[in-house]
Amino acid sequence: MTPADRGALPADRGALPADRGALPAPPSAGGPAQEDGTFGERFLARAGTLGRLCVGMDPHAGILEAWGLPVTVDGLREFSRICVDAFADTACVVKPQVAFYEAFGSAGIAVLEDALAALRTAGTLVIADAKRGDIGSTMAGYATAWLGEDSPLRADAVTVSPYLGLGSLDPVLEVGERTARGVIVLAATSNPSGPQFQRLGTGEHGTGPTVAQTVVDSVSALNSAHVRHGRAGNVGVVVGATVTDPPVLDAVGGMVLMPGVGAQGGSAADVARIAGGAARLTSPSMSRSILSAGPDTGALRRAVLGSSAEFPPAV
């Protein structure tokens, strides 16, 4: 690599893998890393025994206080220790929310590293909810941080944001394919202003698929080489459980992370309706309704098991 700042906007021109501004090409599947299974296959395997629930680790000030913990790095560490104890062998997927660790600076990130290491040792499937999005070597930097083999922050998957176009995600998608780790792309979120851009029509006069559907269709194309071999791929999407006019997910071919379930209003019926033909790949995500059972580890475990029963493995 030359000392080019290919990570600065708009430096991804000419960078490899190329940012094509169009549907990314399907990756060539196979290779050693895939022998242990894609991220999608590892999700399906774990969901087969634990159900499909994803549990969020969201250590905002309110939950630390509710658990009788100080709003400090020590409180963050104790919260994380309790969550690892309670969720590592009960939840199909555990999803730490990176912002709440980052709010404490490098000391908070160090706590997250320890939590990720403990979850890794336990064999838990972990999504780092980071929603990163950049281009070129900068996007590659984020890929190294969250999916790199030697990174202390490595997780099984990371969430990413496509405002810079789907081609901007190529560097992280490439690392995901190489390491059989997941890249989960924001598609449709159910916050009030979510539809502002996500539901716009593409193409001439906006008559083409919505932005959210375009994201899903691109992810489907990225997973297609794996799907042809009868397995789920490494790439997924985020679609909220209370989205109106959700994208069609039937052919997504990878994990659907679906927040907004439980205390946030989404029901099991909503999840089933939106997931459609992708039900078996859909992981409904809960945070508040689980964490409110804490800080008692036993109560947290029971909350996970109870909610997981609502989302058994789907056929």
The catalytic residues are 131
Q: What angle do CA 253, 127, 182 make, to 5 degrees?
A: 40
Work out whether 269 is an interface residue with its own copies (CB under 8 A): no
Work out whether 151 is an interface residue with its own copies (CB under 8 A): yes
Work out whether 21 is an interface residue with its own copies (CB under 8 A): yes
Q: Residue 68: exposed, middle, or buried by beta-carbon count in 10 A (0-12, 13-18, 19+)? A: exposed
Work out whether 220 is an interface residue with its own copies (CB under 8 A): no
- Residue whose token pair is 């919505």: 210
Q: Which of 70, 74, 121, 202 binds its own copies (CB under 8 A)?
A: 202
Work out whether 186 is an interface residue with its own copies (CB under 8 A): yes
Q: What is the pattern of x (binds its own copies, CB under 8 A) and - over residues 154-173?
A: -------xxxxxxxx-----
Work out whether 177 is an interface residue with its own copies (CB under 8 A): no
Residue closer to its own copies by CB (options 67, 314) is 67
Q: Which of 97, 179, 220, 308 binds its own copies (CB under 8 A)?
A: 97
DSSP string, 172-233: HHHHHHHHT-EEEEEEE--STTTHHHHT-B-SGGG-S-BHHHHHHHHHHHHHHHHHHTTS--
What residues numbered 24-53 form the site for its own copies, per CB under 8 A? none
| Gyration radius of the chain's alpha carbons | 19
Distance between CA atoms of 81 and 95, rounded to whole angstroms? 14
Within a 10 A sphere around the Cβ of 131, how many other Cβ atoms?
17
Distance between CA atoms of 171 and 168, rounded to whole angstroms? 7
Min dist. Cβ of residue 114 to its own copies (A):
9
Min dist. Cβ of residue 106 to its own copies (A):
4
- Please check whether residue 142 is in contact with residue 69, taking contact to mean a CB–CB distance below 8 angstroms: no
What residues numbered 128-147 form the site for its own copies, per CB under 8 A? 131-142, 144-145
- Of the candidate spans 81-89, 273-281, 287-295, 301-309, the one that interacts with its own copies by CB under 8 A turns out to be 287-295
Residue closer to its own copies by CB (options 82, 139) is 139
Work out whether 302 is an interface residue with its own copies (CB under 8 A): no
Work out whether 103 is an interface residue with its own copies (CB under 8 A): yes
Written as six digits, the tokens of 146 are 């969250």
Strands 182-188 and 235-239: parallel
Q: Which of 25, 33, 45, 110 binds its own copies (CB under 8 A)?
A: 110
Q: Which of 27, 40, 51, 240 binds its own copies (CB under 8 A)?
A: 240
Among candidate residues 118, 89, 95, 76, the one with its CA nearest the CA of residue 300: 89
Residue closer to its own copies by CB (options 47, 139) is 139
Min dist. Cβ of residue 301 to its own copies (A):
17
